[in-house]
Amino acid sequence: MSITVFGSVNLDLTVSVHHLPIAGETSHAAGFQTGLGGKGANQAVAATRLAKCPVKFVAAVGEDSFADKLRADLQKMTVDTANLVTMKGAESGIALIHVDQSSQNSITVVGGANMAWPDAGPCADVFKGCKVALFQLETPIPATLAAMRAARAAGAVVILDPAPIAEGHMEALIAEADIVTPNETETAAITGTMPGNFLEAQTLAKSLVAMGPKVAIVKLGAKGLAYASRHDGEGVIKPYFVKAIDTVAAGDSFNGGLAAALAEGWSLQDALKFAAAAGALATTRRGAGEAVPSRQEVDDLVAAN
């Protein structure tokens, strides 16, 4: 039994700024940091730290010096790199990130090797014995769809974080998932409505379930989350109160935590509380992969609430 993450790995170039840049503005940054990122890599770090079963990470780097750093960073965080492939002639993925004083961020991704997967996706063998499979959208859509189908054929629960939004493909992607975990902006892009409160988020989660998945979770950031499901009812999970300084990778930590808890056979409610604690703790430290909390920290936060 294992968890498999198929997704991106990026070198994150992060600047801390007073406010997010506006068009035409030149400003000074208060700090600069490089680190391991990419929604796939962050989810893989989170699943590796939080799960009690083996975790496979299926991803691509380029033929450049960044590739060695990314591989080394993944290994330092004990992520299994056996399925990290090198795309010939490609450059490794990069993300340019601004984080402002109120911990909000804006991210621009240069996909590079992450976008070089063939339409057939990775070898279906990577999903053999997989109980939960995680996907996001920083990989090409045909390859991602093929991988989601391979995971489903292997008997895995398929979780899709629909980020970033892939215009024109969202219906097909959502129909292929068992669980979807959009944030507010992604929910608005998919359904046409921005959730204004818990009740609206729950209604929108129901409309996402109507598109095919068994469960839809609308992440509301510091406000918590709302969910709807075919078999486990609907509800909300209140937020954990933490001192947030950087929200990058909070959603990825949430998804890794969700996969870890579901792989252990937890109920949806308990899995959501665990995942929400993982996401909250990630906001209390800077960076992406480095910001993912340990199992002990998450267990402690859940127990204290």
Query: By the criterion CB under 6 A, which residues form the site for ligand RIB?
Result: 8, 10, 12, 37-39, 42, 95, 107, 109, 138, 248-249, 251-252, 288
The encoded tokens of residue 298 equal 């998450």
Distance of closest approach, residue 195 Cβ to ligand RIB, in angstroms: 20
Task: Compute the least distance from the CB of residue 113 to ligand RIB, in Å.
Answer: 13
**Catalytic pick among 64, 80, 252, 300:** 252
Nearest distance from C-beta of residue 136 to ligand RIB, angstroms = 8
Please identify the residue of the shown chain whose CB is closest to the bound ligand RIB: 37
Q: Which is nearer to ligand RIB, 99 or 228 (CB)?
A: 99
Is position 252 annotated as part of the catalytic site?
yes
CB closer to ligand RIB out of 73 and 252: 252
129 sits in the region (left: phi over 0; alpha: psi -120 to 50; else beta) called left
Smallest gap, in angstroms, from Cβ of residue 89 to ligand RIB?
Answer: 22
| Catalytic site positions | 252
